[in-house]
Amino acid sequence: MKNEQYALELVLFKLKEGTDKDSFRKAAAELSDVLQTQLPGFKERQLLHTSDETQWTDIVYWSDMQMAVAAMEKLKSVPAFQTFASMIDSKDIHLLHLVPVNLEA
Pairing of the two strands 56-62 and 88-98: unpaired
| Contacts of 96 by beta carbon, 8 Å cutoff, 6+ apart | 9, 10, 11
**Does the residue 15 lie in any domain?**
yes
**Would you say residue 20 lies in a domain?**
yes
40 domain-assigned: yes
2 within domain boundaries: no
pLDDT, tens digit, for every residue of 79-91? 999 999 999 999 9
pTM attached to this predicted model? 0.90
Q: Could you report the per-residue pLDDT of 2-57, keeping only the tens digit for each?
A: 556 899 999 999 999 999 999 999 999 999 999 999 999 999 999 999 999 999 99
Q: Return the CATH number at 40.
A: 3.30.70.100
* Count of the separate structural domains present in the chain: 1
Cα gap 12→61, rounded to integer Å: 15
- Asked, for residue 81, whether it belongs to a domain, the answer is yes
| Owning domain of residue 29 | 7-98
> Does residue 26 lie in a domain region?
yes
